[in-house]
Chain A
Amino acid sequence: MTTQVVDGTAAGATARGRARRPKQPGRAGRLLSRHWYAWAMCAPVVIVTLVLIGYPLVRGIYLSLTDATEANMGRTIGMNTIPSTYEFVGLSNYVGIVSSSEFLSRLAWTVIWTVVCVGLHYGIGLGLALLLNRPLRFRSLYRMMLVLPWAVPAFVSAFIWRYLLNGEFGVVNAMLRAAGFGGLDWLDDPFWAKVSVITVNVWLGVPFMMLALLGGLQSIPRELYEAAEVDGATPWQRFRHITLPGLRPVSSTVVLLGTIWTFNQFPVIYLVTRGGPGGSSEILVTYAYRQAFEGIRNYSGSAAWGVLILALLVVMAVVYRRALRRQGEAW
């Protein structure tokens, strides 16, 4: 909101132009001449997005209302074109999904997964950022090592962790055994598989949070702390009343992004446990992907899952944005 006012010429002029708009004749032309460069700068992105996301979205929503599978989808084999034979079935895919026990258990696990992961990302990220934000020897060395997990491609990390957690030859079990405990079936026991994927995802996601929050800490004016110290505020009070509010703008964005990314975190689950054992660590996204690409490809079912996932996320983002706006910081 503030930027809009501060923006001076450009924003100010358009804001005035907007207010005046209804009285002016020929406003399409006026709008075009005033805004053409802004539109031109956005055009490539908007067009690509509309074609590549808008069209697939519409098509996906349409497919979710049919009974399309690999078997009845139109296709071309050599010279022969086989027409599509799937039919419009209305909302029955959705009804089927929402009333299935699979949906509720996948949703429950996805929510737990997202909350635990984002909570740990944020908590550990904030803790490390606080430590790194003080005068310290080897600071840049620590920072570089701590950020390493982010620099390694996710699928490589997934392979590494699969190997580390391997029940027979994995290092983690070897260490446990050396310490006198029995090894664990990290990837083959439903409970430990969930612990494993959360561990891997936390390992992967902390660096992003840490860097973003570190920058946020650095942007909080030093004088605030000094003034609070003079006034006799305890360390906890300074943290509670200066650090946390100062981090709010950064936190609100990274938590929102982190939630979206974690909710849709495909590679970690798909590559580390492959959703197993017995589908117990499968989140909504990997489940939907499996529907679309394994066995007889169930295009309509996976599309319906996808639309539901998207709807959940949009609702969440709207609620979140609204909560932020009530506190006076949103566009």
Chain B
Amino acid sequence: MVSTVGHAAASRAKGRGSRGAGASFALHLTLVLASVIAVFPVAWLVLTSIKPRDAWQSTTVELFNSPSLDNYAQVLGQTAFPRWLFNSLLVAAMTTVLGVVLSATTGYAVSRFRFPGFRSIMWMLLVTQMFPVAILIVPIYNLMAGLGLINQFPGLVIAYLTSTIPFCAWMMKGYFDTVPVEIDEAGRVDGLSPFGTFWRLILPLSKPGLAVAAFYSFITAWAEVAYATAFMTGDDKYTLAVGIGQFVGQHKAEWGLLTASSVLIAVPAALVFLLVQRNLVTGLTAGATKS
């Protein structure tokens, strides 16, 4: 850490925009190295997925080995993967929409109003993020069973909401804090209700914050393993995270299938990410600064 920082500070000494060639080289070298480390595992995954099914067991490192899409064809054609994909998309979409709407209203309320219970809600939002899955999963399972929601998508969505909403609401509060209150006041003067102000004026101004909340909700629901494994018992209800585990268990780690389906799973997540990434920096910072 110290060396990176020292290096960063040192190259700033040359002044903005006018870096020496050496500093420029060092800067790009560091970033290229870091990027390679960040990208390599994912790239390797993609490369493995287009190798023949048993090629992962080769002890020599080769980038390509008769590339083909056989693994993909098999995953899509001969397993229940499409079904799991649909289930995951459904659950993730419901979680995202509900999570963003609910956390935005809560975030707005704790950002703008000081009401009895304000501090308790702030603490609640923080403390619920600390709950380890291990303590909640058995009681939630029993609760869901009591409500008849085991092996039902709504049950899973509700369980995910408990983990996405606290972070999203906390973040949205921070974001709303950066939107000037004068806008609310103007809206109120023009006769809008508090809900109207929120819906018509503040939400459209909060796209970066909403983007972060949406991204976080989607990724959480898309990638969750523990609840999905415990709650979804029928294999027509499996989500991807549960289903893909089948490739590891049943036929002794089918890395060919595993890598192909991993790529297929990562693609939608990466697409959502690309859609929102412009807003991530602004949204995250505003959220983190003020909360």
Contact = CB atoms under 8 A, between A and B. Distances in A.
Contacts of B177: 3
A48 B121 CA distance: 13
Interface in A142-163: 142, 144-157, 159-161, 163
* Most chain A beta-carbon contacts within 10 A, residue among B13, B113, B223, B273: B113
A239 B8 CA distance: 9
Contact of B16 (A38, A45, A134, A331): A134
B265 A53 contact: no
A124 interface: yes
Contacts of B169: 45
A35 B1 contact: no
B285 A52 contact: no
Contacts of A157: 41
Contacts of B143: 51-52, 55-56
A261 B184 CA distance: 35
B13 A235 contact: yes
Secondary structure at the A interface, as helix, strand, loop or mixed, is: helix
Interface stretch (B64-72, B73-81, B276-284): B276-284
A153 B111 CA distance: 31
Interface stretch (A10-18, A85-93, A97-105, A184-192): A10-18
B133 A285 contact: yes
Interface residues of B, dominant DSSP: helix
Contacts of B223: 153-156, 267
B44 A218 contact: no
Contacts of B132: 264, 266, 284-285, 288, 306, 309-310
A292 interface: yes
Contacts of B119: 331
Residue among B109, B112, B166, B285 with the highest chain A CB neighbour number at 10 A: B285
A249 interface: yes
Interface in A57-72: 57, 59-60, 63
B105 interface: yes
B250 interface: no
A208 B54 CA distance: 35
Contacts of A38: 109, 112-113, 115
A9 B185 contact: yes
Nearest to B168: A45
B38 A163 contact: no
A303 to B, nearest CB: 6
A6 interface: yes
Contact of A11 (B1, B38, B112): B112
B189 to A, nearest CB: 9
Contacts of A284: 132
Contact of B281 (A31, A148, A215, A331): A215
A78 interface: no
B158 A250 contact: no
Contacts of A270: 225
B16 A135 contact: yes
Contacts of A239: 5, 8-9
Contact of A159 (B12, B13, B61, B258): B258
Q: Which of B57, B140, B185 has the most chain A CB within a 10 Å cutoff? A: B140
Nearest to A213: B285
Contacts of B112: 7, 10-11, 38
A39 B177 CA distance: 18
Given A249-B289, A302-B138, 8 more contacts: A8-B182, A31-B116, A59-B142, A123-B4, A215-B281, A266-B226, A306-B136, A307-B135
A-B residue pairs, 7 tightest by C-beta: A306-B135, A215-B285, A123-B1, A127-B4, A153-B223, A56-B139, A288-B134
Interface of B: 1, 4-6, 8-13, 15-17, 27-28, 30-31, 34-35, 37-39, 41-42, 44-45, 48, 56-61, 102-103, 105-106, 108-117, 119, 121-122, 124, 126-140, 142-143, 158-159, 161-162, 165-167, 169, 174, 177, 181-182, 184-185, 188, 193-195, 198, 219, 222-223, 225-226, 230, 241, 244, 248, 255, 258-259, 262, 265-266, 269-270, 273-274, 277, 280-282, 284-286, 288-291
Interface of A: 3-4, 6-11, 14-15, 18, 31, 34-35, 37-39, 41-42, 44-46, 48-49, 51-53, 55-57, 59-60, 63, 119-120, 122-124, 126-128, 130-132, 134-136, 138, 142, 144-157, 159-161, 163-164, 168-169, 171, 174-175, 178, 203, 206-208, 211-212, 214-216, 218-219, 229, 234-236, 238-239, 249-250, 253-254, 257, 260-261, 263-264, 266-267, 270-271, 284-285, 288-289, 291-293, 299, 302-303, 305-307, 309-310, 313-314, 317, 331
26 contacts: A14-B115, A18-B114, A37-B113, A42-B105, A44-B102, A48-B165, A53-B128, A53-B162, A56-B140, A127-B5, A136-B27, A144-B277, A146-B31, A151-B219, A174-B59, A211-B281, A219-B289, A236-B9, A253-B174, A285-B134, A288-B132, A292-B137, A306-B134, A309-B135, A310-B132, A317-B126
